[in-house]
Chains A and B, each alone.
Chain A
């Protein structure tokens, strides 16, 4: 999925403000402009695949090839190129989270093992092909936690946070999140099925230039307490981290403090 420069429509790239929000908050939302019939058809194809063979795991894209159209959409590609560079690739792992009425919900976790990286090397692409309401047990994320390295088992005493974001969204919403952001989902107390397609995208190379519509480089600047869960110490640490990630995304030399954690 390497985008040659002539194929990149800069109109779809993110601007500085959107990139700063991603660096600090760890997510970016897109509403696809596809007709509703497209999303309904995707739901039907998913249901048919589950009926035929059960959970398809990584084969969900083979079972529902229309999903590729989501990731080929220029707005989605523009956001992915902005965040991950023009030579990002789709990871072979993907998963359809399918929660039915009565599902008990989950617990807060970070995906995979506790070997985290602060730089943006992998993102999740979450696509919702149907409307999601609060009673359907939406995905929830906790902005700013993408730079935490937290054993998921030790998150088990957490439940609800004041600033968690519930993905109660319209059909056709795509959320791009940092791979390490804390996430969970609620119980499905509705009478509807909830489908969420999780895809992974990997960075292809180190940034040498901004891959978004960037203004001339300037330091990120001090962004005090941009994340509500940060205490004073964490806020200082995150400010340094964000500034370094901002430099790295511009292809500017990192400060030593971050290089050791990359």
Chain B
């Protein structure tokens, strides 16, 4: 998945370098127009499993779901944990769309889960 803003940044960087070398061409403009016309808003989802129901509680686990056919997060040893808390993800532009229930619908002597689940989204323009 390529985000539209990454495509635009790349285009601008190329255009900047061409300014001293004959300038942008009509083909460059066509490529930019194509990228813009093909862009679509898509919903990215981020599941964060957190030690408590507060947005400042430490994150213990996560799953990323990208809006691309066939994309699937996998079990692996992650070397990068982008956020320590839900709040850090919010600062990075993620919006919380599901808050964990504090009134658990089960007797915790019988069923147990790991952490409290927040679901966050980012609507991003992606180039196809």
A147 CA / B73 CA spacing, docked (Å): 27
> Chain B's nearest CB lies how many Å from the CB of A59?
29
Q: How large is the interface on B (under 10, 10 to 19, 20 to 34, 35 or more residues)?
A: 20 to 34
- Tell me whether A157 and B112 are in contact (CB under 8 A): no
What residues of A have a CB within 8 angstroms of the CB of B62 in the complex? 159-160
- Cross-chain contact of B75 among A105, A231, A261 (Cβ < 8 A): A105
Assess whether A239 is interfacial by the CB under 8 Å rule: no
- Scan residues 147-176 of chain A and give those whose CB is less than 8 A from a CB of chain B: 147-151, 154-155, 157-164, 166, 168
Interface of B is mostly: loop
Number of interface residues of A (CB under 8 A): 39
A88 CA / B117 CA spacing, docked (Å): 39
Assess whether B63 is interfacial by the CB under 8 Å rule: yes
- Tell me whether B110 and A185 are in contact (CB under 8 A): no
Given that A134-B77, A160-B76, A162-B81 are contacting pairs, would A148 and B61 also be in contact in the complex, using a CB cutoff of 8 Å?
no
Assess whether A228 is interfacial by the CB under 8 Å rule: yes
Q: B residues touching A (Cβ–Cβ < 8 Å)?
A: 47, 49, 51-52, 59-64, 72-78, 81, 108-115, 117
New A-B pairs, 11, CB < 8 Å, besides A148-B111, A150-B113, A160-B63: A137-B75, A140-B75, A148-B112, A150-B114, A157-B47, A157-B63, A160-B61, A161-B49, A166-B77, A187-B74, A229-B114
